[in-house]
Amino acid sequence: MHELSICQSMLEIVDRTMAEHPGAKLLRIFLDVGKGSTIEPVLLSEAFDVITTDGPYEETKLVVNEIPLAGRCRSCGSTFEYQEVALGCPKCESVDIEITSGLELAIRELEIDENGAGDPPGGDAE
């Protein structure tokens, strides 16, 4: 269960990005998560909810864009998406395959409300 430490790493990047937009409220975090990245989106969302409770990101939503696992056959040059982890190239059955996508784990963008969604003037509520 490394989704929690992945969330912590993600929030460090989010904190740094949000520091450049003082007073803004973070609405949504858009992620790219490869199917072969060992990250389970459901567990990631659960970990995110736990870790952001009672904080500035309590209402923030995670939006996960799942990227399929895709490969290229070095023998015949064909490219394909794996529905499941497949046994060889679907065209020529060669096993000489390289993974071309599906291992991603990245924050693509943040959606923010620059007006801070009704925070009292003066900011620092804590």
Partner 1 sequence: MAKVDVGKKILSENDRVAAKNRETFDDAGVLVLNFISSPGSGKTTLLETTLDRLPQDLRVLVIEGDVSTTRDLDRVKAHGATGVQINTGGGCHLSAKMVAEVLPELDVEHADIIFIENVGNLICPSTYDLGEDGKVVLLATTEGDDKPMKYPTIFYESRLAILNKIDLLPYLDYDVEKVQREVEVLNADCELLQVSARSGEGIDDWISWITTRLEEKRS
Q: Residues interacting with partner 1, by CB under 8 A?
A: 1-2, 5-6, 9-10, 12-13, 17, 21, 24, 27, 31, 36-39, 74, 85-88, 95-99, 103, 105-114
- 100 vs 123, beta carbon nearer partner 1: 100
Under 8 Å CB-to-CB from 87, ≥6 apart: which residues? 95
| Cβ at position 107, least distance to partner 1 in Å | 4
Q: How far is the CB of 12 from partner 1 (least distance, A)?
A: 6
b vs e for 83-110, b when ≥16 Cβ sit within 10 Å of the residue's Cβ? Answer: eeeeeebeeeeeeebeeebbebbeeeeb
β-pair type (61-67, 25-34): parallel
Instruction: Name the token pair of 86.
Output: 């497949």
User: Nearer Cβ to partner 1, position 27 or 51?
Assistant: 27
In the complex with partner 1, which residue's Cβ is closer, 49 or 64? 64
